[in-house]
Amino acid sequence: MLFLCQLWRKLIRQAPGKVSLFLGTLLLISQAWPLWAQRFQELYTGQVVNVLDGDTITLLTTDYEQLRVRFYGVDAPEKNQAFGPQSREALQNLIGGRNVTVEVVDTDRYSRQVGLVRQDGHLINQVMVAGGWAWVYPQYCKLARLCPGLVAAEKQARSQGLGLWSDQNPIPPWQWRRGARSGSPAPDQRGGAVVPIGGSLRGNVSSHIFHNSSCKHYSCRNCVRIFKTREEALKAGFRACKICGG
């Protein structure tokens, strides 16, 4: 260590210009490195072999490696949450069995690759939000080149009542998960009255039968009409389920 210090002092005395150039180069590299790192993110190409829900897939890469991929910046309804099955089906129809490219942005605590998923030039993260099948995840959506576009897509889907926005009080998945873990109701999106997880009652828009949260049919594919009370459901022309009583 002493030898290195002496060598450094000697270099400074004999060639101060070269030392300044060397230090300046190091400074430029340190400042440019984050941009280079962002530009050369890890890329994977492969086939979607499984769609777990509206924001998570399993990718079989061209190297025959299976990767669990979570969509960056968005959060889709959970499987047992209202619109969860429909969200998964929408993603399945978009990319199930097809080849996609994944630009990895991060790795989450479950060791999943978190990334931007593209198919035929379309950013599927944004397509899911634009169709009303996923929320923008504000806590984790930080990319300036991406997130404003996602927010605009969500705003438009909400204004048109697409997908989950056809519900008057859709509950964001992150709130739903907190309620599911604690076993307590989750607040509705407007911050007003508290409703049970997934809505008080769900009506099947095909059979016009409504179910309460204890019913095995509560999360059926067509159970997308939400009612706060039995009176509201009956007034809308729905009848109570014979299994759970509605």
DSSP state of 84: H
- Please give the helix or strand (H or E) that residue 187 lies within, else none: strand 186-187
Does the structure show a pLDDT above 90 at 149? yes
Per-residue confidence band for 218, with pLDDT thresholds at 50, 70 and 90: confident
Dihedral sign for Cα 142, 144, 145, 146, please.
Answer: positive
Stretch among 27-31, 98-102, 150-154, 224-228 having the lowest mean pLDDT = 27-31
Mean pLDDT score of the chain: 81
Task: Compute the distance between CA of residue 115 and CA of residue 135 in angstroms, rounded to an integer.
Answer: 16
Top-confidence residue, 99 or 8: 99
Query: Residue 42: pLDDT above 70?
Result: yes
Q: What separation in angstroms does the CA of 200 have from each of 14, 25, 76, 80?
A: 81, 63, 20, 14
Residue 112 annotated as catalytic: yes
Matching residue, tokens 């994977």: 44
Report the C-alpha gap between 145 and 177 in whole angstroms.
Answer: 29
Q: What is the pLDDT of residues 161-185, one digit of tens each?
A: 999 999 878 889 998 888 755 554 4
Q: How confident is the model at residue 27 (pLDDT cuts 50, 70, 90)?
A: low
Q: Is residue 103 flagged as an active site residue? A: no
Which comes out higher in pLDDT, residue 240 or 123? 123
Nearest to 150 by CA among 75, 43, 77, 94: 75
Q: What is the pLDDT of residue 190?
A: 33
Residues of the chain with CATH 2.40.50.90: 43-166
For position 30, what pLDDT does the model report? 52
Query: Which of 78, 118, 154, 225 is flagged as catalytic?
Result: 78
Distance of alpha carbon 205 from alpha carbon 64, whole angstroms: 42
Active site (annotated) includes residue 78: yes
Closest CA to 93 of 61, 129, 54: 54
CATH no., domain 43-166? 2.40.50.90
pLDDT at 185: 43
Please choose, from the candidates 120, 22, 101, 24, the residue with its C-alpha nearest in 3D space to the C-alpha of residue 61: 101
Query: Which residue out of 68, 89, 112, 178 is catalytically annotated?
Result: 112
Between CA 71 and CA 142 the distance in angstroms is 13
**Nearest partner of 117 among 41, 40, 45, 36, judged by Cα:** 45
Q: Among residues 70, 88, 118, 225, which one is catalytic?
A: 70
DSSP 217: T
Give the residue-averaged pLDDT of 128-132.
97
